[in-house]
Chain A
Amino acid sequence: MCDQTFVAITFGPCDSCSQNKPLMNIYLQNEPVNYCSLCVELMACQGLAKGETVSTLRAESENLKAKLEEERAKLHDVELHQVAEKVETLGQFVIKTRRTLKGHGNKVLCMDWCRDKRRMVSSSQVIMRSAAVCVLQEHAVTMPCTWVMACAYAPSGCVIACGGLDNKCSVYPLSLDKNENLAAKKKSVAMHTNYLSACSFTNSDMQLLTSSGDGTCALWDVESGQLLQSFHGHSADVLSLDLAPSETGNTFVSGGCDKKANVWDMRSGQNIQSFETHESDINSVKYYPSGDAFATGSDDATCRLYDLRADREVAIYSKESIIFGASSVDFSLSGRLLFAGYNDYNINVWDVLKGTRVAILFGHENRVSTVRVSPDGTAFCSGSWDNTLDFNPV
């Protein structure tokens, strides 16, 4: 069983009995309230008195689940690839040059592009480097923990966040001075009760979204380290998250070991939509560029596309010959191509609309752990357990 206890303990007057006690932060009809544990128990017993027992509630939840499936099925009038039949087939996918960035002492676990499209940050078991492509400029920061599983560039490009088995997400300011000791300026922002699996800045340098092996996601204020919102709903480790692309968007999607992908409202903490069609852990989630859909990569060797307005899975990208899990997915700029890195050391490129595979890219000598398309769409980068980053421009 995974450790899911992630409770911000506050002490103060209870909203119901007004006594000063340790409070539980709960939601009643979407309103946050602070009740002491005694009042929560009383409230639960009141529920019982009205004739609701665990079994009646369980029956109702089964009914609702069935009704949900019915409603979704009613709108399933056609498949995506049928709609896309009239679209021109893509020509052969060619990658002309590739540069391999060596220099990591260990497996590359994740990477992120800077919005200036020239710089990247990548993490490995021990060291985090940021390398500008074409102009070699490196900052190496030694992390106190052994596995750095998540790293992200801030929108300004001046700050990097990373974390992993230390259960924290720390923020490092970047400077042009190579000799400056970046580790000294480190600031811990997020604290979870289990490993940090993914992190991402929101639209500014001020807020950081994290996901963790403790089954929760959380939104933090970078400056004060305060927890702004927490997101509960996964029943196992959360492995990946992605923010909706729009400027005004306030939603993000997360995927986890419970095979579910959940869409959340960042302000209220509410789980808006939930999708459970994968047969194994979801390792990676990524929004479609329009923000109306998202793709997932999973240990069941498939990638799937879920449409948010149709509220269902609309495409599966799989082949009988692919039996290894997909660890990372990303879209090209137009959303026509889906790049997916697999544990069989390859990257498969899928035609998102037609559901067919356009290309297989070889070149890594161990699992591909991360695949990211550059912000301007002119290149993509893949990191692997073979200690290299492969940089593939058009």
Chain B
Amino acid sequence: MSTSGNVVAMKKVVQQLRFEANIDRVKVSQAAAELQQFCIQNALQDPLLTGVSSSTNPFRTQKLCSFV
């Protein structure tokens, strides 16, 4: 019982590895360039990077706070 259980488990492992070995990959240089491009393109829309003027900051200190 345990031997055949091991075989089934090992077969699954081998199948999974075969699947993973066959996927398409790109070079790190290309992947890294695309990550970098995404960062740069979106940098201006990132308030934590660029800061935000107080008129548009939704979390600026309010003078009036209501307790519900």
Contacts and interface: CB of A to CB of B under 8 A. Distances in A.
Given A68-B17, A273-B23, A393-B57, A48 B29 contact: no
Contacts of B4: 41, 44-45, 48
Contact of B31 (A61, A178, A307): A307
Nearest 10 A/B pairs, CB to CB = A393-B59, A334-B42, A334-B46, A64-B17, A57-B10, A44-B4, A310-B31, A83-B32, A332-B48, A333-B46
A117 B58 contact: yes
A83 B20 contact: no
B28 A307 contact: yes
**Most B CB within 10 A of own CB, among A83, A90, A312, A391:** A83
A184 interface: no
Interface string B18-51: 1111010111111111111011111101111101
A290 B47 CA distance: 17
A110 to B, nearest CB: 21
A97 B11 CA distance: 56
Contact of B62 (A61, A134, A337, A353): A134
Interface residues of B, number: 53
Nearest to A29: B15
A157 to B, nearest CB: 16
A334 B34 CA distance: 13
Contacts of A336: 39, 43, 46, 49
Interface in A239-285: 270-274
A346 B31 CA distance: 31
A224 to B, nearest CB: 30
- Interface band, chain A: 35 or more
Contact of A47 (B11, B39, B59, B66): B11
Dominant secondary structure at the B interface = helix
Given A233-B16, A289-B42, A394-B47, A314 B32 contact: yes
Contact of B25 (A65, A87, A136, A311): A311
Given A47-B7, A336-B46, A337-B48, A68 B31 contact: no
Contacts of A118: 58
Contacts of A310: 25-28, 30-32
Q: Which of A41, A68, A117, A394 has the most CB of B within 10 A?
A: A394
Contacts of B42: 289, 333-335
A335 B39 contact: yes
A64 B15 CA distance: 10
A84 interface: yes
